[in-house]
Amino acid sequence: MLGIARAALSARPPAARPIALVRASLDTLIVAALAALFLVTFVIRPFYIPSVSMVPTLQVNDLLLVDEIAYRLQRPANGEIAVFAPPVNSGGADYVKRVIGVPGDTIAIADGVVYRNGAPLREPYENEPPRYDLSIENYSIYVDGRPLDPHVADVPPKPLWQAPNRIPRGFYFVLGDNRNYSDDSHVWGFVAGARFIGRAFLILWPLSRLRALES
């Protein structure tokens, strides 16, 4: 009987064990909370869609997650959905558009088709074909045959261009997927690389639209 009693007592967890378990759980929660705070503060940023410029890919009031580290490690790539500070006065609001051309690319739009380096783009994300023609030539962006005004659009001066018909080094050409209802590079010119904030990678809300964003 004494042996059974001793065995029973030895099988009981020490009184300190529940406290240790609570402390371990708290430590895990604290680490998780600090990691989440770090991600939200320095790596991932939420971004609400304020306009129809990216329909149908993005709808008004969609909540995106934006990777703010991406463009510190690599340059924006064609097809990516990027958040950036626009080269025009936006009241402090950031913009979200799709990268269509990177430095060195040629871009043209004719008869509703976007051409990159002479090849037509396949754009299943496009809401409707653009109702304007566009070309990059003679060190400027021409829309329906007229160059953008460098006083109101970001068109760098001639010395910064490497070729008269290619996107200058350090600049990018962006368009909204809702081509005819988007203020983008066909209105205010190129986006300098330093203006990019991050790459949108996920629609988080509403839950019915939860999905990864692909290039």
Kindly list the catalytic residues.
53, 97
**Total Cβ atoms within 10 A of residue 17:** 10
What are the φ/ψ torsions at residue 86 (nearest 5 degrees)? -70, 160
What are the φ/ψ torsions at residue 7 (nearest 5 degrees)? -65, -40
| Cα dihedral: 84, 202, 122, 166 (round 10) | 20
What are the φ/ψ torsions at residue 59 (nearest 5 degrees)? -105, 155
Q: Shortest CA distance to 130 belongs to which of 83, 177, 162, 96?
A: 177
Q: Which helix (H) or strand (E) holds 81?
A: strand 81-84
* Chain centre distance of CA 15: 52
CA distances to 61, 85, 88, 174 from 91, rounded to whole Å, are: 19, 10, 9, 20
Is the bond preceding 206 in cis, omega lying within 30 degrees of 0? yes
